[in-house]
Structure 1
Amino acid sequence: MKSLLPISSLLMLLGSASAYAADLHIPMSFEYLALNGQKVESSAFNHKSKLALTPGTHKIAIRYHEMVEDDFSDSQSFVKSSPFILTLDVDGDYQYYLQAADGQVVKKPKEYAKNPQIVLTRSDKGQIHYQVSQTNIQEEGFVSRLFSGNQVTDVSSTAAQATGTAVTATPTPEAAPADKPLAAATTNTPPNATATPEQMLQYWWLQADDKTRKEFMSWAISQL
């Protein structure tokens, strides 16, 4: 006896198959930050190159980032742009491809990161309705965050807010008052067991010679 798939189950399968009608592809030099108010999880070791999109209008926060030769050492470091918001109208089962306006390879990454321009193409060469808006969301440098006591900017959360209202950024700890510098930064006394990580880093930075500081800078930049 043949088993017949119930009509309801068939409709569910068809519905799930059409739920994600399109894909947006980005190259390694770009990264997703947020989609419609939700952070997109990715990392340097797990680059997310494809984003599934349902029919309708989507706001996607994307950032350009590329590894370049460091000007102050023999190591390499990352250059990153502020996020830009791509507003895309999806009206069919298409494959969309994003790339830099200059082509597949950006010749001057540092200059490009100041004002990243992109183009979007579709697998069937059809017309695409999209807009790109630049933002001024800034991410403080790793070292300046460690030694200035400034608040950390959560770029992904801020980008999520810029693309919707579903996500609220997690509050960051209050910065230390400017007129009350951390004690370990102004003395040669080793910090005690209750010292914060910032105090420990400041203390050892002041104790290090120029060679050690440069080596630490190279390592710190590589962790970004």
Structure 2
Amino acid sequence: MKSVMPITALIALLGASSAMAANLTIPMAFEYLALDGQKIESSMFNHKSDISLDNGTHKIAIRYHDMVQDDFSDSESFIKSSPFIVTLAVDGNHDYQLMPAEGEVIKRPKTFAKAPQVIITRKDGGNVSYKVAQTNITEESFVSKLFGGDSGQDIDVASVAATSSAAVVATNNTHAPTPAVAPAASIEAVTLPATLPATASDADHAQQMLQYWWLHADDKTRKEFMSWAIKQL
């Protein structure tokens, strides 16, 4: 009778271990958009760095999204890539890490954003089966939504569609990046100068001002602005 308890406990432990999920981690400069046809809530100001993944193959939409110093002034620029789709085969309770192929420090952010090249490794050093595909999905700007015009797509809707089970995404890279075959992705880089040029159009001027004040606002002001902006859409 005494030998039954350890066996029962062992079975329960093995069952619990098999139910545990793998984990994928991305750096601060990257943003999750969608997983297997479901939107992932994340942003630069509420960064989600980890997602849990069950065994099986998963499609994950990610984009490079960072704020960098301008090369010719003291101003700052937002840089966003088009989403890229990672197809990752998970075969156990592993910790996966996504990183830029060139290393932790991205030396030329604007060039990198045209077609982000990334690699995925396992913390235990095991083999990782994955593919990376670039897309040409462009995002409608916040200013376009406010002032009219349709210069892009809803990035969340497009990312959800690209990671759904029915989606067919052209694969550019397998296991490791291959820059020569990666198509150019869209880039959105808006410079925020200290003094706006007098020749800027009204829409460009408004967009730069919105982004400039957002960067310099505190959390309370940002929440109040977002509450107001959502009501206007």
TM bin, normalised by shorter chain, reads 0.5 to 0.7
AA paired with 1:220? L
Work out whether residues 56 and 90 of structure 1, in 8 Å CA contact, stay in contact via their aligned partners in 2.
yes
> What does residue range 1-224 of structure 1 map to in structure 2 within 5 Å?
18-70=18-70, 74-147=74-147, 149-150=149-150, 153-164=153-164, 210=198, 216-222=206-212, 223=214
46 and 19 in structure 1: CA distance in 2 versus 1, 3 angstrom threshold:
farther
For the residues of structure 1 that align with 2:122 and 2:156, how far apart are their CA atoms?
A: 27
For the residues of structure 2 that align with 1:61 and 1:153, how far apart are their CA atoms?
A: 15
AA paired with 2:211? I
For the residues of structure 1 that align with 2:20 and 2:153, how far apart are their CA atoms?
A: 32
1:93-123 residue CA offsets vs partner (Å, 9 max, x unmatched): 1100001011001111111100100011101
Cα displacement (A) at 1:138: 0.3
40 and 16 in structure 1: CA distance in 2 versus 1, 3 angstrom threshold:
farther
- Higher Cα Rg, which structure: 1
For the residues of structure 2 that align with 1:151 and 1:14, how far apart are their CA atoms?
A: 53
Cα displacement (A) at 1:143: 3.7
148 and 215 in structure 1: CA distance in 2 versus 1, 3 angstrom threshold:
closer
For the residues of structure 2 that align with 1:30 and 1:124, how far apart are their CA atoms?
A: 23
Q: Which moved more, 1:33-42 or 1:146-155?
A: 146-155
For the residues of structure 2 that align with 1:105 and 1:32, how far apart are their CA atoms?
A: 19
72 and 157 in structure 1: CA distance in 2 versus 1, 3 angstrom threshold:
farther
What SS class does the counterpart of residue 103 from structure 1 fall into? Answer: coil
Work out whether residues 59 and 86 of structure 1, in 8 Å CA contact, stay in contact via their aligned partners in 2.
yes
1:155-197 residue CA offsets vs partner (Å, 9 max, x unmatched): 012101110059xxxxxxxxxxxxxxxxxxxxxxxxxxxxxxx
Unpaired stretches in structure 1, ≥5 consecutive residues: 167-208
1:13-61 residue CA offsets vs partner (Å, 9 max, x unmatched): 8656543421000000001000000000112221000010001100000
For the residues of structure 2 that align with 1:76 and 1:29, how far apart are their CA atoms?
A: 15
Counterpart of 1:200? Answer: none
What SS class does the counterpart of residue 136 from structure 2 fall into? Answer: coil
AA paired with 2:139? E
RMSD, aligned α-carbons? 3.4
Work out whether residues 77 and 221 of structure 1, in 8 Å CA contact, stay in contact via their aligned partners in 2.
no
Unpaired stretches in structure 2, ≥5 consecutive residues: 167-196, 216-233
Cα displacement (A) at 1:148: 5.0
AA paired with 1:210? A
1:42-85 residue CA offsets vs partner (Å, 9 max, x unmatched): 12221000010001100000000110235797532310000000
Cα displacement (A) at 1:132: 0.5
